[in-house]
Amino acid sequence: MDVSQFQDLLFSGKVTRRQAKKMMGAFGVIPAMMPMAASQAVAQEGEHPVFFTWVGYDSPEFVQQYVDKYGVGPTYTFFDDEDSAFNKMRAGYTPDITFPCSAVVPLWYDAGFLAPIDTSKLSHWPDVFQSFKDLPDTVINGERVFVPEDWGQTSVMLRGDLAPEYAAPEDQTWTALWDEKYSGRVSMIDYSSDAAIIASLVLGLDPWNLDDEALQKVHAKLAEQMPLNRTLGRSMTEIAQTMASGEVVIAVGWNSLIWNVQDADPEADWVWMNPKEGAITWVCGLCIHPAAVEHGMYDKAHEVIDAYISPEAGIFEIENWYYGHANKKAYEPFSEEFLHSIGLAKDVDTFLADTAFTRYMNNLDKVTTMWEEVKAGV
């Protein structure tokens, strides 16, 4: 499904709000398509922080703690992706709060878009998992500039009934994507950084610091894998459909692929891998723009952040979006069985002990060029 098809479904009323939120987790959505929920009161300009974020994160469940105190939430504005958000702020836009993922924090800090955050102002900070507090590059020059809110993984979805040799936990590996036995029935993800990280993990390289020599090795490894693909995946819905039909048996995807494949064929033997080389884990969270101080919104920005890392916000996100949350208490209502079925766990620190947390890549431009060359057969 592409964005236009999603838009048709949304405006025709053929999908519920909950289904729409899940679909947004599978691919980017144009902000103009999604007005704020009618149930979410809009803050009067100048009285509450301006929150610059991804579409969907204006759901009132995230900010109920703030609304309980003030009667309204922040004013929301939206971006398509972090590149467009960065460029808009570089052009002079000054929100009070932003919602990047951790990999771009150094870039945004160097550009002057991040102010120090005082965690003593966050009542839920003690309940945030230590793994997320210790994320690289989120404390810079001794100052915390990023508060983790949610997380998910990029890993491999497998049809265990059609590729049983990779189904057992001890047999789960990224190298399944290179298995010639399944030529024409594999799907690599079509994102340059994820593809490069996967190849780097298989090769035993540091994905975040790929020099020219390492990039050549990654290029060669991905070029070796490329002919095996039936498709390159971007839409989790489309990947799920090809897997349900049996056209694809091994595919790279995000956590949202789990509910997509279960919806497509609940009877198939679906296996969400924990590759021995490590899954790729992204973490997104909240930052305060230095302009919040000038706007008189610094303290209220902390209150908004505190609402987003509350257990209530986390319970909503886990239950409705299948993303993980930073707050330990958000996992209490859910069984271990349910959490594992969506690629999560109660003991997040142990679960993520061997993961590859996404970080800023030192040669991102070269990685992007390399991936385009691989796809072009160069």
Q: Token pair 């796809």 is at which residue?
A: 375
**Which tokens in the block code for residue 47?**
């009285």
Q: Token pair 């340059």 is at which residue?
A: 192
What is the crossing angle of helices 192-203 and 364-376, to 10°?
90
Give alpha helix (H) positions in 91-188.
Answer: 105-110, 130-133
Is residue 149 helix, strand or coil?
strand
**Residues 159, 287 contacting (CB under 8 angstroms):** no
| Identity of the amino acid at 267 | E
Degrees (nearest 5) of the Cα angle 55, 25, 302? Answer: 50
Q: Which residues contact 290 (CB under 8 A, 6 or more apart)?
A: 112, 113, 114, 115
Question: Would you say the CATH fold of 153-279+358-376 matches that of 35-145+281-344?
Answer: yes
Is residue 311 helix, strand or coil?
helix
Q: Is 364 left (phi over 0), alpha (psi -120 to 50) or beta?
A: alpha
147-162 tens-digit pLDDT:
999 999 999 999 999 9
Degrees (nearest 5) of the Cα angle 15, 20, 23? Answer: 115
Task: Give the pLDDT score at 222.
Answer: 98
pTM comes to 0.79
The CATH number assigned to the domain with range 35-145+281-344 reads 3.40.190.10
Greatest alpha-carbon pair distance for the chain in Å reads: 61
Degrees (nearest 5) of the Cα angle 109, 30, 155? Answer: 70
Q: Token pair 């060669």 is at which residue?
A: 220
Q: How far apart are CA 361 and CA 358, in angstroms?
A: 9
Task: Give the pLDDT score at 247.
Answer: 96
Task: Give the pLDDT score at 271.
Answer: 93
Report DSSP state, residue 316: H
Task: Give the pLDDT score at 30.
Answer: 38
Task: Give the pLDDT score at 3.
Answer: 41
Q: How far apart are CA 275 and CA 271, in angstroms?
A: 11
Class of the domain covering 153-279+358-376: alpha beta
Whole-angstrom distance between the N-terminal and C-terminal Cα of the chain? 29
Q: How far apart are CA 322 and CA 325, in angstroms?
A: 9
84-111 tens-digit pLDDT:
999 999 999 999 999 999 999 999 999 9
Task: Give the pLDDT score at 362.
Answer: 86
Task: Give the pLDDT score at 302.
Answer: 98
| Identity of the amino acid at 113 | F
pLDDT < 50: residue spans in the chain: 1-44
In the chain, domain spans = 35-145+281-344, 153-279+358-376
